[in-house]
């Protein structure tokens, strides 16, 4: 009896310092999380863009990576616009196999996010978001979402947000996705339609896009952009 009471007491003490994340379970990015920009058909830039991290295209070839003035080095390439490495499906082994695995992981991550339904907040603001602050959770929309004025996600570094959008996503020019306490790696945007990050705007989170993503002139993205078609950067910053 003494041993049982002691165990319970110690368990109670230990549990007082445990922080449980709010929101849905995180989406597993697998090896697609090794890239800040990953696309299937192409990545383009209007120079100068500034990317910190690895970028890749597959099954598209290096010909689909435009505006970067690539310097090829066998399994990868470099660019003055990229602090990291650039990969494509036509580089030497093991790059093609590595990228195939990463693309499959990206697709699986999108499918996972797009299947989430439990405890969802549905069609908030009818898709027009103006000056809102969102707590951790799952948010779903059946149409296009337009962030008209800056949107804040407020919580703890352990909290999770999933924003599942059946249409497109537009962040208006000169607006921001603001993270208060939240981490970009724990914010998942699952978007079926086209994505447009407006000029000089600031976006945060992991963008899992079914179709194309455009970062308009002077915009920035903190997190990742993983597209099942193409990514267009227009003098943009990605970190």
pLDDT at 24 > cutoff 60: yes
> Per DSSP, what are the bridge partners of residue 206?
188, 224
Say if CB 129 and CB 151 are below 8 A apart.
yes
pLDDT level of residue 75 (50, 70, 90 thresholds) = very high
Hey, where are the domains in the chain? 28-234
Q: Quick one: which H or E segment has residue 113?
A: helix 95-115
CB-CB neighbours of 212 under 10 Å? 19
φ and ψ at residue 109, rounded to 5 degrees = -65, -45
* Model pLDDT, residue 216: 98
Q: What is the mean pLDDT of residues 95-124?
A: 98
pLDDT level of residue 229 (50, 70, 90 thresholds) = very high
Mean of all residue pLDDT scores within the chain? 93
pLDDT at 10 > cutoff 80: no
pLDDT at 218 > cutoff 80: yes
pLDDT at 23 > cutoff 60: yes
Q: What is the mean pLDDT of residues 78-104?
A: 98
* Model pLDDT, residue 147: 98
C-alpha 222/C-alpha 203 separation (Å) is 6
Residues sharing a CB contact under 8 Å with residue 32, sequence separation 6 or more, in sequence order? 38, 102, 103, 105, 106, 109, 226
pLDDT tens column, 113-138:
999 999 999 999 999 999 999 999 99
* Model pLDDT, residue 20: 59
Q: What is the mean pLDDT of residues 149-177?
A: 98
Share of the chain above pLDDT 90, in %: 91
pLDDT at 11 > cutoff 50: no
Let me know if 77 is exposed, middle or buried by CB neighbors in 10 A (0-12, 13-18, 19+): buried
pTM summary value: 0.91
pLDDT at 4 > cutoff 60: no
Quick one: DSSP state of residue 192? S
pLDDT at 12 > cutoff 60: no
Residue 79: both structure tokens together: 């660019």
Reduced 3-state DSSP string for 114-180:
HHCCCCEEECHHHHEECCCEECCEEEEECCCEEECCCEEEECCCCCCEEEEECCCEEECCCCEEEEE
Residues making up the chain, counted from first to last: 239
Share of the chain above pLDDT 70, in %: 92
pLDDT at 14 > cutoff 90: no
């Amino acid at each position: 009896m003494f041993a049982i009471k002691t165990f319970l007491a110690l368990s109670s003490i230990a549990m007082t310092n445990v922080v449980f994340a709010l929101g849905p379970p995180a989406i597993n990015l697998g090896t697609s999380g090794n890239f800040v920009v990953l696309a299937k058909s192409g990545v383009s830039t209007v120079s100068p863009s500034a990317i910190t991290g690895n970028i890749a295209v597959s099954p598209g070839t290096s010909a689909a990576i435009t505006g970067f003035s690539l310097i090829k080095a066998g399994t990868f390439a470099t660019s003055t616009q990229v602090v990291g490495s650039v990969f494509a499906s036509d580089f030497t082994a093991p790059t093609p196999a590595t990228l195939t695995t990463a693309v499959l992981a990206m697709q699986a991550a999108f499918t996972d996010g797009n299947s989430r339904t439990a405890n969802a907040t549905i069609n908030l603001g009818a898709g027009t978001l103006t000056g809102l602050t969102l707590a951790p959770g799952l948010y779903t929309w059946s149409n296009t979402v337009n962030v008209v004025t800056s949107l804040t996600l407020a919580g703890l570094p352990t909290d999770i947000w999933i924003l599942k959008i059946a249409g497109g996503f537009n962040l208006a020019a000169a607006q921001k996705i603001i993270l208060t306490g939240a981490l970009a790696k724990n914010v998942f945007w699952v978007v079926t339609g086209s994505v447009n990050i407006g000029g000089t705007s600031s976006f945060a989170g992991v963008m899992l896009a079914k179709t194309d993503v455009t970062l308009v002139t002077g915009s920035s993205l903190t997190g990742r952009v993983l597209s099942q078609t193409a990514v267009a950067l227009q003098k943009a910053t990605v970190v």
